[in-house]
Amino acid sequence: MRKFNFLTFVLFAGIFFGAFAQKDQQAKNLLDAVSKRYQNMNGMEGKFEYTFTHDQDDIDQTNSGKVSLKGNMYRLTLPNQEIWNDGKTSWTLIKSDGFQEVTISEVDGDIDELTPSNVYNLYKKGYNYKLKDEKKLNGKSVQEVELTAENKNNQFQRIILYIDKGNNNIQGWKMWDNSGGVLDYQFKDLKTDANLPDSHFVFHKGEHPGVEIIDLR
């Protein structure tokens, strides 16, 4: 069974993009504004809903979760799973039938991995981008920006970001992975003025009595 992952974010279909890729200056200006806004936040929290489909494997799953962000740190809560990442160390907690196990690993900044904390800067390396349509998403007017990978072997080949035209918040995105999977992710509640301490992004063993620790550092 496939596992949705903000950590690895397994997401994008192999698509042929033609010889004439482009970097649209208007799209860049908008993406720069989004990135700057995010970097200036003291913290952001949101609830989201995501749908993962894969026609070949007959998968159609919808679920929900919560995410907190600050700089290069994030905390992600999914069904039966929670992840803390303070930019240096990552803790992944798996909960199943009363059993808890947390895996600790170092964060490798060189890995091109889609995470909650780098989606706002993903366009800066290895992607072309252009403005697409405007649409309504959960009652908000959003501008679509399409990212396409410069390297056809890139795991993440295509992303469409939905950017709120009123405040430059990303309201969601749609992604295609190179195995044929499609992820549609939308914020249902977004708080951009959260004042989050760095400790919010660190796993605290005392809050999880009986948890088994697997330290891979």
3-state helix, strand, coil in the chain (%, to 5): 10, 45, 40
Q: Is the pLDDT of residue 111 over 70?
A: no
Structure tokens at 163: 């950017």
6: DSSP letter: T
The residues pairing with 144 across neighbouring beta strands, listed in sequence order, are: 162
Q: Is the pLDDT of residue 186 over 80?
A: yes
Q: What is the pLDDT of residues 41-77, one digit of tens each?
A: 899 999 999 899 998 888 899 999 999 999 889 999 9
- Confidence class of residue 163 from pLDDT cuts 50, 70 and 90? very high
For the chain, domain boundaries: 25-215
pLDDT at 109: 66
Structure tokens at 73: 């740190």
pLDDT over 70 percentage in the chain: 88
Tell me the pLDDT of the chain averaged across its residues.
84
Query: Which residue has better confidence, 4 or 33?
Result: 33
Q: Is the pLDDT of residue 201 over 90?
A: yes
- Residue 72 CA to residue 122 CA, distance in Å, equals 12
pLDDT over 90 percentage in the chain: 49
Class of domain 25-215: mainly beta
- Confidence class of residue 6 from pLDDT cuts 50, 70 and 90? very low
pLDDT at 113: 64
* Mean pLDDT, rounded, for 94-115: 81
The residues pairing with 135 across neighbouring beta strands, listed in sequence order, are: 142
pTM listed for this prediction: 0.79
Q: Worst-scoring range by mean pLDDT, 67-81, 111-125, 171-185?
A: 111-125
